[in-house]
Structure 1
Amino acid sequence: MKNNELETKSELQEKSLFDKTVGRRSFLQYAGAGAAGIALVAAGCSKDRGYDNPTMSGATLDFKDDFGVLNYAYALEQLEAAFYIKVANSNTQFTGTNAAAKKAYFQDIQFHEIAHREFFKAALGTAAIGSLEVDFSSIDFTSEASVLSAAMAFEDLGVAAYNGAGPRLKTGTYLLLAGKIVSVEARHAAYVRDIISNGSFADLNSLTSLGANNASGLDAALTPDKVLAAASKYIKTKINVINL
């Protein structure tokens, strides 16, 4: 199949998936169906991309093409989804007059991250890496402060990860999808920062370590190796990176 044919089909799938208004549960189901066509393409590429290499344990991210970048995003969405599911199941005690709003926020963001995770899983098909084993032992899920701090770290890192991975995507449709997802991640990051410190949602000075430039009004951007190093404390599964 020619590249322009692939992109045309991907554009139709992306349009049908993201341009319709659906509820949370419907979106999760629809995301899987809308990604099925992309999954067929990924399945055809899985053998020659080395995903069945028996000499490597854990998960392998091969950045030689777009599917490596998509798997990278899938790994990060697995991590974020697992965190917010853990928050929901831990019954974190939010405080203050806006406690109910905070709880509702974390419920909403949980569905966003699950939707992102399931979209990438379905899109990649047999080329997808396996489920990652996470380690949140450093987070006190009974503490509002600990949960908010971790959420801020995950969201800021997620934004930097998508921005840093963008130049590696060669297919315009995938780049558009990444842009639509990173903008949602940025909304999450801004809101959680504002919960922690009212009015700090647009503070780029605190993100210079992640590559933000306040003078130019540019958000954070990190290369995959730096993102994975920062996220490694939360991931038990060994992640092998090749062709970066």
Structure 2
Amino acid sequence: MKTETNSTTGGANMARRSFLRYAGAGAAAVAVLGASSCRTGHFDLPANENNIDIGMGDIGILNYAYALEQLEAAFYLQVIATPYSGISSIETSYLTDIRDHEVLHRDFFKAALGSGAIGSLTTDFSSINFSDRTSVLGAAKLLEDTGVTAYDGAGYLIQSADYLTIAGKIVSVEARHAALISNLIKSGSFADTDQVDANGLNKSATIAQVLAGANGFLKTKVYASNFNYPKV
């Protein structure tokens, strides 16, 4: 099944321009840093041309987020392009809003990273039945929960306060998505124990754990083999 990757509504296009203007100063700084990282060889790819390495430092973390946002955007674009059987008007509205958010996030990271961005990823959604509500919402929950645990697990690695602020604003939106999707599947499960621990804190996951799961939906595999974790 062909996955749509570029179509959004006119409102989403306007929102994208506003979002990029809002984050413009940070985006320019990231692009400069990305160009510097490229010159130092941080974006050398593994021998397999289908593999992508996220790189190192803050640029690596931003590319990590960019990869996940590409995956989520592609998924929701397909969900809206081919709605599942029996989808209600309110579910269509919810999922369209989520699609627009994910496209904004994807495009922000691409613009911010500039020449330091990893390439466009090729998705593999063959395990998802887009005509079936249970299959679609189950995949949406997996992607949203993974996204939140990914941001929570990698936040401490971000060195720049500006980048950390942007990541915090994005992960809070991803958490709203995750809560909504969970509640669509089972009423009252918006903060269930599969994601929130006994201390009331969201669970987190390592980069390696997240990419291992994300790669199941990608033909282009993403790795962090060159990432330089800080010494503790």
- TM-score by length of structure 2 reads 0.85
Query: In structure 1, what residue type is equivalent to 2:73?
Result: A
Number of the residue aligned with 1:10: none
Residue in 1 that maps onto 2:168: 179
Displacement over 4 Å in runs of 4+:
52-56
Runs of 5+ unmatched residues, structure 2:
1-10, 228-232
Equivalent position of 1:80 in the other structure? 72
Cα distance in structure 1, aligned partners of 2:187 and 2:44: 49
Q: Does 1:223 find its partner at 2:206?
A: yes
Partner of 1:239: 222
Please state which structure has a larger fraction of its residues in helix: 1
Residue 52 of structure 1 and its aligned partner are, at CA, apart by 4.9
Instruction: Give, in whole Å, the separation in 2 of the partners of 1:52 and 1:38.
Output: 19
May I ask how many residue pairs the two structures share in their alignment? 212
- Cα 1:100–1:43 change in 2 (3 A) is same
- SS at 2:174's partner residue? helix
Q: Percent identity?
A: 46
Residue 51 in 1 paired to residue 39 in 2? no
Structure 1 residues 54, 200: closer, same or farther in 2, change over 3 A? closer
Whether 1:91 aligns to 2:83 is yes
Q: Is the 8 A contact 2:35 2:115 kept in 1?
A: yes
Once the two structures are TM-superposed, the CA of residue 54 in structure 1 deviates from its matched residue by 7.9
CA displacement at 1:89 relative to structure 2 = 1.0
Normalising by structure 1, report the TM-score. Answer: 0.81
| CA–CA distance in structure 2, aligned partners of residues 117 and 49 of structure 1 | 24
| AA in 2 matched with 1:123 | A
- Asked whether 1:196 is paired with 2:185, we answer yes
Say if 2:46 and 2:52, in contact at 8 Å, map to a contact too: no
For structure 1, which runs of at least 5 residues remain unmatched after alignment?
1-22
Q: The residue matched to 1:242 in structure 2 has which SS?
A: coil
Amino acid in structure 1 at the alignment position of 2:39: K
Larger deviation: 142-151 or 48-57?
48-57
Larger radius of gyration: 1
CA–CA distance in structure 1, aligned partners of residues 204 and 111 of structure 2? 26
Q: What residue in structure 1 maps to residue 139 of structure 2?
A: 150
Aligned-residue Cα RMSD (Å) equals 1.7
* 1:127 partnered with 2:127: no
